[in-house]
């Protein structure tokens, strides 16, 4: 394994230092972590998931099952990154995973000896039923032994961003098909985004020798695209998910450890690309071969060996066995031979085409036909393979095994919307099914593996995609890549010339001109598939003969052929069951290299065809996406937007402890009232009962209702009547849902004949608004009513308490607020500094009180004016905790009682309806079930054990009854009542038990406390309302 | 994500909208006392595998209630109208 | 206003904003559209999202039967015939954020799902910003107004400022040209 002196697409002038397991290593710009490790002779990079077997680098892309490493340290620690997709960066810190104490000596490698216990379904069988308790004991050890990387525990200091993008045409993949599609769509005038997961664009062309003809083609394409301002190329960007509406989820990586969060630089950006049309040119992934010990370091995909050689100038072995069941691996064999390796081809087929055999012979490559690998020898590195051949087994020494079991089209994104891929027997791969409008495919993803075909197809797809967007200017197709025209004869000794000399089958277009169907003799045969299926049959003699070790179907999840046979024997035959029983395809690679063979094997075991067995479901993400990228900037302080009232800053400056309620920030209590909330709310309740308090109620929902039918509209949405409400008066109203359950309550005042001002609870404001609009748009469009949310328009405050009238008079000496001018439930519309001022006399606390509404920009000014005028009368601010407890004393229901389950009768509000009809929820509200004696009823509860607290949430039982189940009801709200010097609460209690005077036991399950209480009227204070009316 | 083309605002992400349920259910007149009719309107649903008429409100936009015909199998949207238009 | 030549390339200013909403009754639209221009002294915008400017007034059609009138200076006195529609002041409840500079698109892409490149000057649209309903008005190539609910305004200002945090590095080269030209260059040198 070594770096060649010349060649590759690396920049040898830029050395990059990094560490792997603490060892300092040097690579070049343009390397991946995997290529730099290989170039430095690092072959063993990790231990496997279950058996701790030594593993090396298996691929050169996102399909990598083995070479998972942990990157970074501290909060930036990122486990399970495929080394094959990590762009090498200066100072990169990489660590191998799942090994202890070290990679070379792993104490748990011994797990392999206990393999029979770790087969598929082991956990389920061993720890279900009577032994289930044992799982509790063993889980810790098993979890420690099996696994991948470990996540960091510190907070991630990096920044992640989210961007919204728009395009006419999105092209996924920048190989020949993708580039051609981008050129066609861009030339037509469409706005094009070309997406490439790699840091270098070019796709499969990057695995050609750096001086091959394809390189000039690539360069020409970039030059033409760079001239188009409407085409953008995004590299290092993975299209990880396809969503409805032709939306793609992309994640862009900005380099390892180079983004500085303090400069606002994001480590990754999540992009939501809304495209009118999408061209999927996502290519194909090579499949492995299955044989005993097929996981040994030094065994890799043939395409990967070629990428390492041609893109990274790394010769991954000097004695190479190329094992294949198709033609494509011959390209790797020829390139490796040209680079000086001694190459043997083990071709499973009986008769590879003569042309290939001839070329191999010319290069001094030995081709063994009907030859397949039975076993790989060596442990930390492959040192030989045993070949199974018609003449008996043969052993060939080697330090690199390059395998090819055919190709699977990368159909993932095309399947994310539930479009099942379809099987093409002629190509032995699943290809995309019938896609929705505006979605196109081109290149190897269609199963056509020729370059000329890909370029043509890409061009057509790009043109169709732009036409789909209504952009139809045509553009000339790029020149195809006709490598057959290159003269092979003249530069026999030059590395580069010999590399491009071969008219390889996969570059040749079929004679009938079609490019999607490979010529018959190039088709891979199905011998590999059959052999694999045979081997998985338990007890198969031929298979057992060579079964000197495990043959892995899924390298990452350590699923062997025996596990598949076991699943089959035990009835887990459907692919979805197979997947879950064996964990096949459930690793971070999602079975990109393993699924096809395993599904074929199951097909073989069941004597079915591959399409009958089907595939498992493809879901986003295509490759792993960091949670941080999904969260973006919506973390910490920015987790959600914060809503502040107009007086917010005053509260904070004046010692309020703020409380989140929904998105709102509200004053919970003021620290001047007490050391903690319990002390403060009692003091603030006393303040309101004995002098006066000022409360910010700006969070109430406020809705302006106008129009000649406004009164009729309100009559229909409220259970109680509003049509006869006089102008200048307010009324408490209740709304039901269509099913008769209470929806919300609030006060609505009449500003004019056709004009009302509605308030809703803080929590339901948005729902009520939307519901009113729904009724007007869908049910009663004939009503002339306009509804508009004015929640933000008004600052609102409530001054409550016996001194409130004096305070209001002092603050607004020009206003007549006498009992006659402003009676209980009366409304004044006045001006304050030429701006609207609304005063409504109504009370939530049971005290004499006013609600004052003023334009939001004047909120703080009016608040301060009231505070100043009220100081001589003892006015102080109070918070939501006291607001919530004052109303309990008064028996007013609120959110805890109006909980989406209670009816008017449950809440004792049935009398509000009278004999009215024609309101929302009326008919279903009269359901017989709502009169059932087990329905709850609102009651008051008065503690009878002095000093013992009643808790909201406590369950109510009859004294002496066993305290089990849901009891007879529950306490919904509770408070200490300074007026009564006793704990009081509101509760919902079964009607048959809701007898005033009865004793009840409240059990609070969180602390296990039980407290006795007496059922009383829910109105604890001033039942005649004398405080309100004076 | 769904993209819903509001008739007056253009195509938008579905998170600008609020779902409003089955638009094929017939709401009885506000003063209709027929229990059966209300029962069917509130509780009885078809749940079709295929085209479904449903209400969506462009709540973060123009606030209009819309009737959307969506295929429940593919999420493909066949038509979108203002709810007020569908009543005419 | 900033012309984008500042060091940061992005500026944001918050201001109060006078708004009156007009709404026509369903069925009275034709009369309303005939009547209101006489009061305003100019035609109404025809499509939702269109705007019409008359002197110091700007009218935005925000829904099929709804218009917002924005103005600078003393408030206009407008009576709408209750047979045709109604009016409602909304300026107290909203704050106008004026965003400008060369970094504007960079910031907007991180805040709203709006295709800025196809949004014509003088067009308005309503959308979500950090899930809060806002009205976005494109004033010119490098300037827009956002009308945001007052209760959310501080939170949204912080959110927008945070979006602009990475601007210093990103503003001067668009990512597009970066990737393609470097791909091109690496091909030439490679």
Q: How far does the CA of residue A365 sit from the closest CA of chain C (Å)?
A: 30
Chain segment C79-114, per-residue pLDDT in tens: 899 999 999 999 999 999 999 999 999 999 999 999
* The pLDDT of residue A122: 66
Asked whether the beta carbons of residue B57 and residue A778 sit closer than 8 angstroms, the reply is no
- Helix then strand then coil, in percent of chain A rounded to 5, is 30, 25, 45
* The pLDDT of residue A986: 98
Query: In B, which residues are within 8 Å of C26 by CB distance?
Result: 84
* The pLDDT of residue A474: 77
Query: In A, which residues are within 8 Å of B35 by CB distance?
Result: 923-924, 926-927
- A988 or A1029, which is more confident: A988
| Residue range(s) in chain A whose domain bears CATH number 1.10.10 | 526-605
Residue B53 confidence (pLDDT) above 90? yes
* The pLDDT of residue A131: 63
Please check whether residue B9 touches C, CB under 8 A: yes
Asked whether the beta carbons of residue B12 and residue C49 sit closer than 8 angstroms, the reply is no
* The pLDDT of residue A533: 53
Chain segment A782-811, per-residue pLDDT in tens: 999 999 999 999 999 999 999 999 999 999
Q: Which residue of C has its CA nearest to B84?
A: C26
Mean pLDDT, range A223-230, rounded to an integer: 95
* The pLDDT of residue C24: 97
Mean pLDDT, range A572-585, rounded to an integer: 91
Whether ipTM > 0.85 holds is: yes
**Between A575-582 and A561-569, two packed helices, what is the crossing angle to 10 degrees?**
120
Mutate to test the interface with A, among B13, B27, B30 (most CBs of A within 10 A): B30
Query: In A, which residues are within 8 Å of B16 by CB distance?
Result: none
Q: Which residue of B has its CA nearest to A247?
A: B1
Q: Report the distance separating Cα A833 and Cα A858, nearest Å.
A: 9
> Sheet holding B18-22: strands in order across?
B18-22, B51-57, B65-71, B77-82
* The pLDDT of residue A345: 97
**The tokens of C88 are what?**
């409602």
Query: In C, which residues are within 8 Å of B59 by CB distance?
Result: 133
| Residue range(s) in chain A whose domain bears CATH number 3.50.50.60 | 157-285+407-481+627-633, 288-405+487-503+519-524
Query: In B, which residues are within 8 Å of A924 by CB distance?
Result: 35, 38-39, 42
Q: Which residue of A has its CA nearest to B13?
A: A245
* The pLDDT of residue A133: 66
Please check whether residue C113 touches B, CB under 8 A: yes
Chain segment C117-142, per-residue pLDDT in tens: 999 999 999 999 999 999 999 999 99
Please check whether residue C133 touches B, CB under 8 A: yes
Please check whether residue B87 touches C, CB under 8 A: no
- Residues near A655 by Cβ (< 8 Å), separated by ≥ 6? A670, A671, A672
Residues paired with residue C128 on neighbouring β-strands, in sequence order: C133
* The pLDDT of residue C178: 46
Mutate to test the interface with B, among A620, A717, A721, A781 (most CBs of B within 10 A): A781
Band of pLDDT at residue A730, cut at 50, 70 and 90: very high
* The pLDDT of residue C6: 42
Contact A745, A893 (CB under 8 A): yes
- A987 or C172, which is more confident: A987
Residue C40 confidence (pLDDT) above 90? no
* The pLDDT of residue A499: 31
Q: Nearest Cβ partner of C48 from B8, B16, B59?
A: B8
* The pLDDT of residue A543: 43
Fold entry, domain B3-87: Folate-binding fold (3.30.2270)
Band of pLDDT at residue C49, cut at 50, 70 and 90: very high
Chain segment A750-771, per-residue pLDDT in tens: 999 999 999 999 999 999 999 9
CATH code of C18-92, in short, is 3.30.70
Mean pLDDT, range A246-270, rounded to an integer: 86
How many Cβ contacts (< 8 angstroms) between chains B and C? Answer: 38
Q: Which residue of C has its CA nearest to A699?
A: C151
Q: Nearest Cβ partner of B75 from A244, A272, A770?
A: A244
Q: Report the distance separating Cα A519 and Cα A271, nearest Å.
A: 41
Query: In A, which residues are within 8 Å of C93 by CB distance?
Result: 790-794, 856
Mark which residues 829-858 of A lie under 8 Å from C by CB.
836, 855-857
Chains that touch C (3 or more CB pairs under 8 A): A, B
Query: In A, which residues are within 8 Å of C25 by CB distance?
Result: 707, 784, 786
* The pLDDT of residue B64: 98
Mutate to test the interface with A, among C150, C161, C162, C163 (most CBs of A within 10 A): C150
Q: How far does the CA of residue A72 sit from the closest CA of chain B (Å)?
A: 33
Does domain A932-1029 fall under CATH 2.40.110.20? My reply is no
Band of pLDDT at residue A2, cut at 50, 70 and 90: confident
Query: In C, which residues are within 8 Å of A226 by CB distance?
Result: 177, 180-181, 183-184
User: What phi-psi label fits residue A198: left (phi over 0), alpha (psi between -120 and 50 degrees) or beta?
Assistant: beta
Residue A601 confidence (pLDDT) above 50? yes
Domain C93-177 in this protein, CATH class:
alpha beta
Query: In B, which residues are within 8 Å of C112 by CB distance?
Result: none
Q: Which residue of B has its CA nearest to A787?
A: B63
Asked whether the beta carbons of residue B30 and residue A716 sit closer than 8 angstroms, the reply is yes
Asked whether the beta carbons of residue A918 and residue B31 sit closer than 8 angstroms, the reply is yes
Residue A68 confidence (pLDDT) above 50? yes
Q: Which residue of B has its CA nearest to C63?
A: B62
Does domain A288-405+487-503+519-524 fall under CATH 3.90.198.10? My reply is no
Chains that touch A (3 or more CB pairs under 8 A): B, C
Query: In B, which residues are within 8 Å of C48 by CB distance?
Result: 8-9, 62
Residue A207 confidence (pLDDT) above 50? yes
**The tokens of A17 are what?**
């230092």
Q: Which residue of B has its CA nearest to A737?
A: B42
* The pLDDT of residue A511: 33
Q: Which of A348-357, A1009-1018, C179-188 is the least confident region?
A: C179-188
Mean pLDDT, range A61-82, rounded to an integer: 94
| Residue range(s) in chain A whose domain bears CATH number 3.10.20.440 | 1-148
Query: In A, which residues are within 8 Å of C90 by CB distance?
Result: 788, 790, 793
Greatest mean pLDDT among A584-598, C39-53, C102-116: C102-116
Determine how β-strand A2-3 pairs with β-strand A314-315: antiparallel
- A773 or A356, which is more confident: A773
Mean pLDDT, range B61-70, rounded to an integer: 98
Chain segment A122-164, per-residue pLDDT in tens: 666 666 666 666 666 666 666 666 667 888 889 999 999 999 9
Q: Which residue of B has its CA nearest to A245?
A: B3
Domain A526-605 in this protein, CATH class:
mainly alpha
Q: How many helices, marked H, and strands, marked E, lie in chain A?
A: 27, 49
Chain segment A261-274, per-residue pLDDT in tens: 888 889 999 999 99
- Residues near A787 by Cβ (< 8 Å), separated by ≥ 6? A703, A704, A705, A769, A772, A773, A776
- Helix then strand then coil, in percent of chain B rounded to 5, is 20, 40, 45
Please spell the DSSP secondary structure of A56-97, one letter per residue. Answer: ----SSTT-SS-EEEESSGGG-EEEEEGGGPBP-TTEEEE--
Please check whether residue C48 touches B, CB under 8 A: yes
Residue A575 confidence (pLDDT) above 60? yes
- Residues near A949 by Cβ (< 8 Å), separated by ≥ 6? A943, A974, A976, A983, A1011
Percent of chain A residues topping a pLDDT of 90: 76
- A1-148: which CATH architecture? Roll (3.10)
* The pLDDT of residue C183: 57
* The pLDDT of residue C56: 82
Domain A157-285+407-481+627-633 in this protein, CATH class:
alpha beta
Q: How far does the CA of residue A1 sit from the closest CA of chain C (Å)?
A: 23
Mean pLDDT, range A10-34, rounded to an integer: 96
Please check whether residue C124 touches B, CB under 8 A: no
* A630 φ, ψ (degrees, to nearest 5): -70, -35
Residue A255 confidence (pLDDT) above 60? yes
Q: Which of A513-527, A623-637, A880-894, C69-83 is the least confident region?
A: A513-527
Q: Which of A507-521, A582-596, C18-32 is the least confident region?
A: A507-521
Query: In B, which residues are within 8 Å of C147 by CB distance?
Result: none
* A877 φ, ψ (degrees, to nearest 5): -80, 155
Mean pLDDT, range B12-21, rounded to an integer: 97
- Residues near A453 by Cβ (< 8 Å), separated by ≥ 6? A509, A515, A516
- C72 or A115, which is more confident: C72
Mark which residues 562-601 of A lie under 8 Å from C by CB.
none
Q: What is the mean pLDDT of chain A?
A: 89
Please check whether residue C77 touches B, CB under 8 A: no
Asked whether the beta carbons of residue B2 and residue A918 sit closer than 8 angstroms, the reply is no
Query: In B, which residues are within 8 Å of C126 by CB distance?
Result: 9, 60-62
């Amino acid at each position: 394994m070594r770096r060649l002196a010349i060649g590759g697409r690396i920049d040898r002038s830029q050395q990059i230092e990094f560490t792997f397991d603490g060892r300092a290593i040097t690579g070049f710009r343009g390397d991946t972590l995997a290529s730099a490790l290989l170039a430095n002779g690092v072959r063993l990079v990790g231990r496997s998931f279950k058996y701790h077997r030594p593993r090396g680098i298996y691929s050169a892309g996102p399909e990598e099952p083995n070479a998972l490493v942990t990157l970074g340290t501290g909060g930036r620690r990122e486990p399970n990154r495929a080394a094959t997709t990590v762009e090498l960066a200066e100072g990169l810190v990489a660590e191998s995973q799942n090994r202890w104490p070290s990679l070379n000596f792993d104490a748990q490698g011994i797990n392999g000896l206990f393999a029979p216990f770790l087969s598929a379904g082991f956990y389920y069988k061993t720890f279900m039923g009577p032994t289930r308790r044992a799982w509790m004991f063993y889980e810790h050890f098993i979890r420690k032994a099996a696994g991948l990387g470990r996540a960091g525990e510190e907070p991630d200091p990096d920044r992640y961003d989210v961007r919204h993008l728009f395009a006419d045409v999105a092209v996924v993949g920048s190989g020949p098909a993708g580039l051609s599609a981008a050129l066609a769509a861009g030339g037509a005038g469409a706005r094009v985004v070309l997406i490439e997961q790699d840091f270098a664009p070019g796709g499969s062309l990057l695995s050609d020798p750096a001086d091959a003809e394809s390189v000039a083609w690539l360069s020409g394409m970039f030059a033409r695209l760079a001239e188009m301002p409407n085409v953008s190329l995004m590299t290092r960007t993975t299209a990880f998910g396809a969503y409805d509406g032709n939306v793609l989820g992309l994640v862009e990586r900005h380099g390892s450890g180079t983004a500085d969060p303090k400069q606002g630089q994001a480590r990754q950006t999540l992009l939501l690309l809304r495209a009118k049309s999408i061209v999927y040119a996502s290519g194909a992934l090579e499949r492995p071969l299955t044989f005993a010990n097929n996981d040994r370091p030094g065994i890799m995909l043939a395409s990967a060996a070629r990428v390492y050689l041609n893109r990274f100038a790394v010769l991954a072995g000097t004695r190479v066995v190329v094992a294949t069941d198709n033609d494509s691996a011959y390209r790797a064999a020829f390139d490796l031979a040209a680079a000086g390796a001694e190459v043997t081809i083990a071709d499973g087929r009986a008769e590879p085409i003569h042309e290939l055999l001839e070329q191999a012979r010319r290069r001094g490559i030995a081709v063994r036909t009907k030859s397949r690998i039975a076993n790989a020898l060596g442990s930390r590195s492959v040192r030989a393979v045993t070949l199974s051949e018609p003449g008996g087994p043969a052993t060939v020494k080697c330090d690199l095994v390059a395998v090819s079991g055919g190709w699977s089209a990368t159909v993932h994104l095309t399947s994310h919307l539930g479009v099942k891929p379809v099987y093409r027997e002629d190509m032995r791969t699943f290809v995309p099914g019938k896609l929705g409008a505006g979605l196109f495919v081109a290149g190897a993803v269609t199963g056509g593996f020729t370059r000329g075909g890909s370029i043509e197809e890409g061009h057509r797809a790009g043109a169709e995609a732009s036409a789909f967007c209504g952009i139809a200017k045509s553009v000339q197709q790029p020149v195809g890549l006709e490598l057959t025209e290159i003269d092979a004869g003249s530069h026999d000794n030059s590395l580069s010339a010999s590399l491009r000399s071969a008219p390889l089958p996969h570059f040749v277009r079929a004679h009938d001109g079609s490019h999607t169907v490979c010529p018959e003799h190039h088709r891979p045969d199905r011998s590999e598939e059959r052999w694999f299926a045979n081997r998985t049959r338990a007890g198969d003699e031929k298979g057992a003969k060579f079964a000197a070790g495990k043959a892995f179907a899924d390298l990452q999840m350590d699923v062997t052929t025996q596990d598949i046979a076991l699943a089959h024997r035990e009835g887990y035959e459907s692919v979805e069951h197979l997947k879950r029983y064996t964990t096949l395809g459930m690793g971070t690679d999602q079975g990109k290299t393993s699924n096809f063979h395993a599904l074929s094997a199951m097909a073989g075991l069941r004597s079915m065809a591959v399409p009958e067995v089907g595939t498992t479901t493809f879901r986003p993400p295509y490759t792993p996406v960091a949670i941080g990228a999904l969260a973006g900037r919506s973390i910490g302080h920015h987790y959600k937007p914060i809503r502040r009232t107009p007086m917010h800053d005053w509260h904070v400056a004046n010692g309020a402890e703020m409380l989140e309620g929904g998105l709102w920030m509200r004053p919970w209590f003021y620290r001047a009232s007490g050391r903690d909330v319990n002390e403060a709310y009692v003091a603030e309740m006393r303040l309101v009962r004995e002098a006066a308090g000022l409360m910010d109620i700006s969070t109430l929902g406020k809705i302006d209702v106008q129009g000649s039918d406004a009164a009729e509209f309100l009559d229909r949405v409220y259970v109680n009547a509003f049509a006869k409400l006089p102008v200048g008066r307010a009324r408490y109203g209740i709304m039901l849902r269509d099913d008769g359950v209470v929806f919300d309550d609030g006060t609505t005042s009449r500003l004019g004949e056709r004009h009302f001002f509605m308030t809703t609870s803080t929590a339901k404001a948005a729902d009520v608004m939307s519901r009113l609009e729904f009724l007007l748009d869908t049910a009663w469009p004939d009503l002339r009513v306009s509804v508009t949310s004015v929640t933000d328009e008004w600052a609102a405050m409530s001054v409550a308490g016996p001194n409130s009238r004096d305070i209001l008079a002092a603050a607004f000496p020009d206003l007549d607020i006498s009992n006659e001018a402003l009676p209980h439930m009366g409304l004044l519309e006045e001006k304050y500094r030429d701006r609207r001022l609304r005063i409504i006399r109504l009370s939530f606390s049971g005290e004499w009180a006013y609600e004052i509404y003023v334009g939001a920009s004047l909120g703080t000014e009016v608040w301060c004016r009231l505070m100043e005028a009220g100081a001589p009368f003892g006015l102080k601010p109070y918070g939501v905790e006291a607001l919530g407890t004052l109303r309990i004393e008064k028996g007013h229901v609120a959110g805890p009682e109006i909980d989406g389950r209670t009816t008017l009768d449950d809440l004792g509000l049935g009398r509000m309806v009278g004999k009215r009809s024609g309101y929302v929820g009326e008919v279903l509200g009269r359901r017989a079930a709502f009169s059932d004696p087990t329905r709850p009823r609102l009651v008051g509860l008065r503690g009878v054990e002095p000093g013992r607290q009643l808790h909201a949430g406590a369950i109510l039982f009859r004294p002496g009854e066993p305290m089990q189940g849901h009891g007879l009801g529950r306490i919904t709200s509770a408070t200490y009542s300074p007026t009564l010097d006793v704990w009081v609460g509101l509760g919902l209690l079964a009607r048959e038990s809701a007898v005033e005077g009865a004793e009840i036991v409240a059990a609070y399950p969180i602390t296990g406390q039980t407290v006795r209480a007496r059922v009383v009227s829910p109105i604890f204070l001033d039942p005649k309302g004398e405080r309100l009316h004076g | 994500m769904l993209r819903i083309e509001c008739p007056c605002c253009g195509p938008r992400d579905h998170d600008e909208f609020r779902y409003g349920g089955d638009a094929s259910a017939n709401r009885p007149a506000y003063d209709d006392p027929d229990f059966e009719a209300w029962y069917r309107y509130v509780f009885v649903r078809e749940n079709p595998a295929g085209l479904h008429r449903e209400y969506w409100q462009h709540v973060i936009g123009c606030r209009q209630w819309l009737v959307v015909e969506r295929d429940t199998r593919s999420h493909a949207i066949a038509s979108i109208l203002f709810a007020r238009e569908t009543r005419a | 206003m900033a012309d984008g030549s500042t060091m940061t390339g992005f500026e944001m200013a918050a201001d109060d904003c006078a708004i009156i909403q007009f709404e026509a009754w369903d069925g009275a639209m034709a009369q309303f559209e005939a009547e209101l221009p006489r009061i305003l002294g100019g035609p109404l915008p025809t499509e939702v999202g269109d705007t019409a400017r008359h002197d110091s007034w700007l009218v935005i059609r925000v829904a099929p039967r709804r218009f917002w009138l924005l103005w600078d200076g003393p408030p206009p006195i407008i009576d709408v015939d209750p047979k045709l529609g109604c009016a409602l002041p909304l300026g107290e409840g909203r704050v106008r954020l004026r965003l400008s500079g060369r970094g504007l698109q960079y910031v907007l892409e991180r805040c709203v799902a709006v295709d800025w490149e196809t949004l014509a000057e003088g067009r308005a649209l309503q959308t979500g910003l950090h899930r809060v309903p806002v009205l976005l008005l494109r004033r010119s190539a490098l300037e827009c107004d956002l009308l945001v609910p007052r209760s959310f305004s501080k939170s949204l200002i912080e959110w927008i400022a945070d979006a602009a945090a990475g601007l210093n590095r990103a503003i001067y080269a668009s990512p597009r040209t970066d990737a393609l030209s470097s791909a091109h260059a690496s091909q030439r040198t490679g």
